Amino acid sequence: MTSALIEARGLVKHYGDFVAVDDISFDIREGECFGVLGPNGAGKTTTIRMITATSPVTTGELRVAGLDVKEAPRQVKAVLGVVPQDDNLDPDLLVRQNLEVYARYFGLSRDEVRQRIDEALELFQLDDRATSNVDDLSGGMQRRLTIARALVNNPQVLILDEPTTGLDPQARHLVWQQLRLLKSRGVTMLLTTHYMEEATHLCDRLVIMHRGKILVEGRPYDLVAELVGPQVLELRLPPWERDALLAEFPQGDGVTVEQVEDLTYVFGGGTASAMAAERVGDPHRAHLRPGNMEDVFLLLTGRGLLD
């Protein structure tokens, strides 16, 4: 078992009477990618703001690399690399200059700065754009530059707050590839994302938050197996046909049925789901597919929009 680089115990954050984070506990181990998932307003970004010592903890214990964030906020910030939700690059500076200015906050020597910037630009395939204006970069390139900037201080933990939001599929997969490479090199990462596929690809473990609380914690594939099962049956049938088909499923045998508008989801149906899909014979009306993290997420947090 590797040591924990981030330890949270009974973490609470109040904004007046509003409880944004409500008594959560978790560990992030050295060398792993740990995911924090949840709908908007779940408390993900508030949790990150406490970890990065940019918002004070109301109650509870929070340690980063052995440092108490309440007692040593400056030292905590020095061991973190942070990729915010929105790119906050300086458009008045060239690509390389953005990294050089950021590096000055950490008291690095010129030789260290030069080497680390070269490595970061090469890693994210931006070395040929080092003298470009930031505004001349595509959205995907700007996002990769923001991640590269977070690596300049050689952080112990890389904080990634929705790192691929707004990227096209090609750019997103390139970022995933580079993040997997960083993880293979032993970089510890904390990831928040709304992309369930991203969480499945990158996270060793994750938690799902809702209304400030942690609902579940585990490895992505374990959570899918435990809460959803290997296969999900999706039915697009008129009510009379759907009800007749569902009546043939065994009752009280771990089968869960969820109705969302005109679409019916059947979880845990096993052989009965396979037989039902075969009987209908039309994948547009009865589709049997593998369970996934999005199923887990929606089962736990609901399918309605939250303000």
Residue range 27-83, pLDDT digits in tens: 999 999 999 999 999 999 999 999 999 999 999 999 999 999 999 999 999 999 999
pLDDT grade for 249, boundaries at 50, 70 and 90: confident
- Whether residue 307 has pLDDT greater than 60: no
Q: Report pLDDT for 208.
A: 97
pLDDT grade for 199, boundaries at 50, 70 and 90: very high
**Once rounded to an integer, what is the mean pLDDT over residues 259-279?**
90
Q: Report pLDDT for 287.
A: 95
85 CB-contact burial (10 Å; exposed 0-12 / middle 13-18 / buried 19+): middle
Provide the mean pLDDT of the chain.
Answer: 92
Distance CA(180)–CA(232), nearest Å, equals 29
- Whether residue 164 has pLDDT greater than 70: yes
Q: What share of the chain is helix, strand, coil (3-state, %, to 5)?
A: 40, 30, 35
The angle at the Cα of 251, spanning 250 to 255, to the nearest 5 degrees, equals 80
**Once rounded to an integer, what is the mean pLDDT over residues 88-98?**
94
pTM of the full predicted structure? 0.90
In this structure, are residues 286 and 272 in contact, taking their beta carbons and an 8 Å threshold? Answer: no
